[in-house]
């Protein structure tokens, strides 16, 4: 796909688990990235049904930012809300934690499978796999059995390092949207 044919991003969904007790967990990095984007661009959060929403205007384009307030496994419940507004899967970018990338590696790609991520699995079951993803690398524990507890733990890296990476992720999102 050439840059000229890249679909316009109209909604960014940050994946995470609701509640202050989960806020600093690796699994909730998507929430933190979309919150940082809203803060940088002057978005104000409001709650609606099973989600928090903020609207921002970036480079003259309106963007809807969403944090599903259901738990990770049912994140796809926000998709009908977007569909009713004419937002198609190819206009959605999902920000999520990624075990298959080392801590600090951030990338954006289109499509793909859930690769064991229950939040992605829920979104894929609601709209298919042809949406964009920002993959925020969190690393992987040594043993597969540790994955469920690992993603629900706070980052072991310094808070400053995590905040710097969140800022980098926001900058990357803004650059991606501008193209």
State yes or no: pLDDT of 6 exceeds 80. Answer: no
pLDDT of residue 2: 45
Catalytic choice (24, 27, 96, 117): 27
Instruction: Identify whether 27 is a catalytic site residue.
Output: yes
Taking residue 77's Cβ as centre, other Cβ atoms within 10 Å add up to 16
**What digits encode the pLDDT tens for the residues 72-82?**
999 999 999 99
State yes or no: pLDDT of 53 exceeds 60. Answer: yes
State yes or no: pLDDT of 4 exceeds 60. Answer: no
Domains, the chain, ordered by start: 8-178 (3.40.50.1470)
pLDDT of residue 5: 66
Distance, in Å, from the CA atom of 5 to the CA atom of 111, rounded to the nearest integer, reads 15
142 CA to centre of own chain: 25
Distance, in Å, from the CA atom of 93 to the CA atom of 31, rounded to the nearest integer, reads 13
Return the closest-CA partner of residue 130 out of 175, 74, 91: 91
**What digits encode the pLDDT tens for the residues 23-35?**
999 999 999 999 9
Q: Does the pTM exceed 0.85?
A: yes
Q: Tokens for 97?
A: 């934690």
């Amino acid at each position: 796909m050439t840059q000229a044919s890249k679909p316009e991003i109209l909604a960014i969904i940050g994946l995470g688990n609701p509640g202050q007790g989960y806020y600093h967990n690796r699994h909730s990095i998507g929430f933190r990235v979309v919150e940082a984007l809203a803060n940088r661009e002057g978005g104000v959060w409001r709650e609606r049904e099973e989600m928090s929403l903020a609207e921002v205007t970036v480079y003259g384009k309106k963007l809807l930012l969403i944090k599903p307030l259901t738990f990770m496994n049912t994140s796809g419940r926000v998709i009908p809300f977007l569909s009713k507004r004419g937002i198609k899967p190819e206009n959605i970018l999902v920000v999520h934690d990624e075990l298959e990338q080392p801590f600090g590696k951030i990338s954006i790609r289109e499509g793909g499978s859930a690769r064991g991520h229950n939040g992605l699995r829920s979104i894929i079951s609601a709209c298919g796999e042809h949406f964009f993803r920002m993959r925020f690398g969190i690393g992987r524990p040594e043993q597969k059995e540790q994955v469920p507890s690992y993603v629900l733990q706070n980052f072991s890296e310094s808070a400053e390092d995590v905040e710097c990476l969140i800022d980098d992720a926001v900058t990357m999102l803004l650059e991606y949207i501008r193209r």
